[in-house]
Chain A
């Protein structure tokens, strides 16, 4: 194979893979701490994308500047969803040994509601936002690197680093990690577990607000755009190791490069089958994923 084409494929795979990883960060964090598989993850990203779009369409705010609105908004949404919808379930099931499968169903309900409310409110038409910043591609040798995707990629890496540092260094972060390790022990040592859960959920969804703003400039926005990221985010998280923050990024990069190179040899449809196969294989052979736990 032409090494230049291969180089292209690897660079593209890394860029989009980093973005997959960034989008999956919140999913991994929420699962790691709450043991809740958030089916509404993609839908919340859709909310972030629409927020960025409307801020530009109505108030003329550049999608990159809209971060200051989308991040707090999505934090509040996540906080609210946890407090009002998921928390009652977690406390009810706390006595049971089984992992809260019902939480998956609850979030599936949230996904149905959010996606279709968006359809009712915004209509089915596709939208796109665009940045007013002039961003020519930077050249990596002979390979042009798309700036918007590069920004998304860099944000994913930075967000992951920031999240790890926050979890290690701050009081809140340590409380979250303690809760993740042993909820009951954490509660006994005076940690407000319900609050920790809500904040964790909020942080997980706030990250989607960030990526909503950053991706709005190049992803077509529709009420069911979340589906494009939904299943892939699960693959990324499982591949990297559920609950692992660096694992999420690593999983994204592996899937991104894997699909980019596979696509050079087989059609995209077969590449999709292959990455699902990879997902199953990883779960069966190495259920902990590439990286350990949180």
Chain B
């Protein structure tokens, strides 16, 4: 295990020394709360995050816990938000009041994260946002709210950046775009960002279509896409709808010269790849908060253990949400070590000073974790992979590409694929 923060290491030692004999009086465990959608439509995401966080916690405890706290162990408590804002708020109250957590992480759904993180702010309890991308979460001047992952606007920008980049690289690229997305919070806010950026960058949006979640047939919408003849299609759907859409696009041989560009959701869910025929998702571009094909440079033994356990527990390979749950716990561990206390204010101050440049906290694929004055990790970025020969391989940003990887651009029509 590496702790990069050597200057703070000194501080840590100083703190331990100052505490001296009092170290025995330190709590033997630190409780961390998680608010996640463990039931309801987003239950899959909640479960993956939970497993990732639990594996990280087990690793941390097995490696001697929080050393600056005399080896205190981390204990996780979970609250099920059911994706409902009021229940998320009540569960946050419970974790903070009853379980006496040092910090809360969560809650994937923006609609839950928004009011629940306000509760954390009110009780001066650090809140580490996981998964929720709504821009405003870190724009309210709340000093206890942090976010590790991308904002919504970053996601949209990366998709357009990648298209621009491929165009520059090859001299070929789309002129017209179609957008097709799920008609609730996430899909609609993503579409709004893409709409804005596409206009700035000179793309012509020829179809802008939302669909209510949990459809059973997309034939009508595919007809509309076919009629609009876009060069590329931007989609944002959760797993069930994404599965239906991908299957029907293959059945109906709906070709897009510059491919399908998905922003996570269903296309980052490992259960999706288990359920779909590889032919249906060939050449898909997927933007996600994690570099899917291994990390650059060092790999830590923790990762092999993590990936193996994750597969054992859930039956499929590591997901972006599992990775975020895992990384979140290492960010908290780092802050706890530096705070040398489970006091919420001290932990907040330590979190605010986070500057991680190596170690398992970077498992999601960031090069660094450092929060700006709003609590947003400005080094958060996604990566875009293309599905090549059944493997999702990173094609953007270019510096994250493996040597043998080049995007297929434009993508071959269904009829021309072997």
Contact = CB atoms under 8 A, between A and B. Distances in A.
Contact of B211 (A119, A218, A220, A269): A269
B275 A264 contact: no
Interface in A72-96: none
A3 interface: no
Contacts of A260: 219-220
A225 B240 contact: yes
Nearest to B219: A12
A222 interface: yes
Contact of B216 (A126, A229, A271): A229
Interface string A210-253: 00000000111011110111000000000000000000000000
A65 interface: no
A131 interface: no
Contacts of B241: 220
A225 B240 CA distance: 9
Interface string A90-122: 000000000000000000000000001001000
A119 B272 contact: no
Given A5-B227, A124-B47, A260-B219, A218 B247 contact: yes
A266 B13 CA distance: 65
B269 interface: yes
B214 A128 contact: no
Contact of B43 (A13, A119, A229, A272): A119
A9 B220 contact: yes
B160 interface: no
A271 B215 CA distance: 12
Interface string B35-47: 0000111011011
A134 interface: no
B211 A126 contact: no
Contact of B183 (A116, A146, A227, A269): A269
B240 A5 contact: no
A162 interface: no
B220 A268 contact: yes
Given A119-B39, A268-B215, A126 B221 contact: no
Nearest to A126: B239
Interface string A134-158: 0001000000101001000000000
B215 A228 contact: yes
A264 B271 CA distance: 32
Given A8-B223, A127-B275, A260-B220, A222 B209 contact: no
A259 B272 CA distance: 27
Interface in A253-294: 259-260, 263-264, 267-269, 271-272
Interface string B214-246: 111101110110010000000000011101100
A65 B274 CA distance: 22
A141 B271 CA distance: 38
Contacts of B239: 125-126, 220, 222
Interface string B298-323: 00000000000000001010000000
Q: Most chain-B Cβ atoms within 10 A of its Cβ — which of A124, A219, A228?
A: A124
Q: Most chain-B Cβ atoms within 10 A of its Cβ — which of A2, A228, A264?
A: A228
B210 interface: yes
A259 B240 contact: no
Nearest to B40: A224
A16 B215 CA distance: 11
Contacts of A137: 251
A289 B416 CA distance: 49
Nearest to B253: A144
A125 B271 contact: yes
Nearest to B247: A218
A16 B216 contact: yes
A5 B228 CA distance: 12
B277 interface: yes
B4 interface: no
In this complex, the interface size class of chain B, counting residues with CB under 8 Å from chain A, is 35 or more
A252 B239 CA distance: 26
B41 A224 contact: yes
A229 B387 CA distance: 32
Given A5-B223, A269-B183, A12 B271 contact: no
B356 to A, nearest CB: 31
A125 to B, nearest CB: 4
A268 B216 CA distance: 12
Contacts of A222: 239-240
Contacts of B43: 119, 124, 223
Contact of A125 (B44, B217, B223, B227): B44
Interface in A28-54: none
Contact of A267 (B39, B210, B219, B274): B210
Interface in B29-72: 39-41, 43-44, 46-47
Contacts of B275: 126-128, 220
A116 B39 contact: yes
Given A126-B271, A220-B275, A263 B221 contact: yes
Contacts of B277: 130
B214 A259 contact: no
Nearest to B209: A267
B80 to A, nearest CB: 12
B10 interface: no
A229 to B, nearest CB: 7
Contacts of B220: 9, 12-13, 259-260, 263-264, 268, 271
A126 B243 contact: yes
Interface string B1-27: 000000000000000000000000000
Interface of B: 39-41, 43-44, 46-47, 183, 209-212, 214-217, 219-221, 223-224, 227, 239-241, 243-244, 247, 251-252, 266, 269, 271-272, 274-277, 314, 316
Given A2-B227, A119-B43, A269-B183, 16 more contacts: A12-B220, A125-B269, A126-B243, A128-B247, A128-B276, A130-B277, A137-B251, A146-B252, A149-B217, A220-B239, A224-B214, A225-B240, A228-B214, A264-B220, A267-B210, A269-B211
11 contacts: A12-B219, A116-B39, A146-B251, A146-B252, A220-B243, A220-B244, A267-B211, A268-B221, A269-B211, A271-B220, A272-B212
Closest 3 CB pairs of A and B: A124-B43, A263-B220, A125-B271
